Amino acid sequence: MLAIFLKTLPFFALIGLGWFAGRIRFFPQDATAWLTKFVFYFALPAMLFRFAGSLHIAELFDLRLVLAYLLGSTLVWAAGFFVARARKLPLAECAMEAHAGMTGNTGFLGIPMLLVLFGERAIGPIMLLLTIDMIVYSTLVTLIVTAAKHGRVTLAIVPQLLLGIIRNPMIAAMIAGLLWSAFGLTFAAPLDEFLAMLGAAATPGALFAIGASLAGKSAERLGPAIWLSFAKLVLHPLAVGIAALAIFKVDPFSAGVMISAAALPVAGNVYILAQHFGIAVQRVSTAILISTAISIASIPAVIHWITQG
């Protein structure tokens, strides 16, 4: 386990460096926002486009993996929802807590870290899980919150949801890469080097941005945040692992990548969504802070378990 911890340590050291820079205000929140935009709109899409451009759809889609992830994630989502409902929270808050309890930081932390730990072979499962999170669960929480706020959901929201999905640069990059591959196109050397150089900025940029964004968060509403962190770091990988290994018999490598992705801390985009709707903002913020701190130890433990078979 020590070897895995030492492998993951540089990733969390970069997060810590970003946190320190933000904490002493050397890297203010405005700078964090712009760095996040650079990573989100340029560096990560370049990395994903380059990887997707060398994949075939048949290599990407695995029905058993999809079903296992949907089953495990939906069970955890439902658990988060009903625990919130038992506390007599409004419907919109229940949905936001459920979303926080099962949505991991796959884009900014998972892609860089899991590619290093598992190799380029992991990109297919990671992209598939990222797509499910963005399309299925982000849509679900948006529909529930909209229904709770307006009393109903109309068909008028469907084009907005579809446009939001298509406009997501990571989804767009993956689709563009798969189309590139489907048409049998190859990357000329200058283009490949350009994408590799730009994509290489994704890992340090994303991790530094995570840390800098955490510097502006304070630990409040600890009780709910601890529960959400537990759901994300323990229940989610456990549920996904049981679904993958015991029910759908996903191949060991893909199952390992999927369980590791499920063990990631609460995603920063959940905070953006909570802030956008003005729902459970402090709970989500604290859950991100706590789950990210604990994941320094929990992620190596999960990967150690996976690598030991």
**Cα dihedral value 203, 268, 161, 132, nearest 10:** 60
- Which alpha helices (H) appear in 24-137, and where do they start and end? 29-38, 44-52, 57-60, 63-86, 91-102, 111-118, 123-132
Taking the model in full, what pTM does it have? 0.88
Cβ 48 vs Cβ 177: under 8 Å: yes
Mean pLDDT for the stretch of residues 5-15 = 91
**Cα dihedral value 46, 48, 53, 55, nearest 10:** 160
Q: Mean pLDDT over all residues of the chain?
A: 89
Residue 55 within any structural domain of the chain? no
What is the phi/psi pair of residue 154, to 5°? Answer: -105, 165
Cα–Cα distance for residue pair 137/266, rounded to 1 Å: 14
Residue 220 is predicted with a pLDDT of 67
Mean pLDDT for the stretch of residues 116-133 = 90
Residue 70 within any structural domain of the chain? yes
Residues contacting residue 47 through CB under 8 Å, at least 6 positions apart = 111, 195, 198, 199, 200, 202
% pLDDT > 70, the chain: 94
User: Is the pLDDT assigned to residue 15 strictly greater than 80?
Assistant: yes
Residue 267 within any structural domain of the chain? yes
Place of tokens 């969390």: 12
Q: What's the number of CA atoms in the CB half-sphere (13 Å) around residue 292?
A: 30
Residue 224 is predicted with a pLDDT of 92
Residue 49 within any structural domain of the chain? no
Residue 208 within any structural domain of the chain? no
Residue 206 within any structural domain of the chain? no
User: Is the pLDDT assigned to residue 155 strictly greater than 80?
Assistant: no
Residue 104, Ramachandran bin (φ over 0: left; ψ between -120 and 50: alpha; else beta): beta
Domain assignment of residue 276, given as a range: 2-22+63-166+217-307
Grade residue 143 by pLDDT with cuts at 50, 70 and 90.
Answer: confident
Residue 193 within any structural domain of the chain? no
Residue 177 within any structural domain of the chain? no
Cα–Cα distance for residue pair 37/119, rounded to 1 Å: 26
Residues contacting residue 139 through CB under 8 Å, at least 6 positions apart = 161, 165
**Collapsing DSSP states into helix, strand and coil, what is residue 213?**
helix
Cα–Cα distance for residue pair 58/216, rounded to 1 Å: 43
Mean pLDDT for the stretch of residues 196-200 = 95
Pick the residue with more confidence: 233 or 55? 233
Cα angle for residues 129, 131, 133 (degrees, 5° grid): 70
- State the helix-helix crossing angle for 157-167 and 169-182, rounded to 10 degrees: 70
Residue 55 is predicted with a pLDDT of 79
Place of tokens 């701190």: 293
Cα–Cα distance for residue pair 251/292, rounded to 1 Å: 28
Structurally, the chain folds into a number of domains equal to 1
Q: How many CB atoms lie within 10 A of CB 93?
A: 20
Residue 265 CA from chain centroid, whole number: 8
The model's pLDDT over 234-278, given as tens digits with 9 standing for 90+, comes to 999 999 999 999 999 999 999 999 999 999 999 988 988 888 788
The model's pLDDT over 275-289, given as tens digits with 9 standing for 90+, comes to 878 888 889 989 999
Cα–Cα distance for residue pair 117/250, rounded to 1 Å: 19
Residue 309 is predicted with a pLDDT of 64
